[in-house]
Structure 1
């Protein structure tokens, strides 16, 4: 009985040291959502994006003030109907420059969660070795900023998305498993 109780207590206490935290689903706008999950045990980031299935959509993450999204030299990703493109901002109004893609496809589901939407899930190491081109995820961070954009009409060629489709969110969480 003592061994069983000790084993049960040990297993329960190990569960208390879960090394994963998440932003939870962040509603960026109508039909655009993002979830970022960090796994400290595997030092892997998992990014889930939901967006329209007929146009590109993009997400920038990091630490920046409102209005500072799209600053030259910052990391972003965008969906081009084939893969998640890893890129570096060249400045507002400029086409981002692609860099080494360190994101690995986990799933790509069309018409999910509903018709007209696509849900994509990609993973990447916290540190990629790609120098200043990639954002370094730090599990100890208590917040992360998101800026996003999507094309205003159907198509996958990167173009000006207009000022009404670029927003800033500072993602916080009050629970230990959330940012």
Structure 2
């Protein structure tokens, strides 16, 4: 917790720019869940709006719909196993999913949404209902209302993967338990 810092509203979109796998979490009336989601992005810069796909079958989805909020967090190599478990096991089938995942959760002051430890960044969104998109495409939209990042990997609106240890690099899911961790920086001269 000592390295978690707020992210300025005009820099939140940069969290999404790297295309990292996310964990979606939500809570309603004391019931919480978290699931991995590879498909997420920024849809608008300021105020930042995020989109994420949440399938109809996921336990997390009605929690988002009922509470009106969801969190997106961006797990690192250090929590790859936990992330895979959260994306592979449904709370519809295992009521103890969160406890058995090995993931640890915390809450930021003023928010009731569980956030996963070991992530590079955390974003809380207010759900903007789009019934047709949700029904037809499982596409959820949210306006970012709070954001934090671990200053060892994201500080002053910039990712710092060049200096971050490997276990703090973000995960990028492909399929079948296969991820990539973010790679080396490449700067194009003149920009």
Please report the TM-score for the alignment, with normalisation by the length of structure 1: 0.37
User: For the pair shown, which has the larger CA radius of gyration, 1 or 2?
Assistant: 1
Q: Point out which structure has higher relative CO (alpha carbons under 8 A, 6+ apart).
A: 2
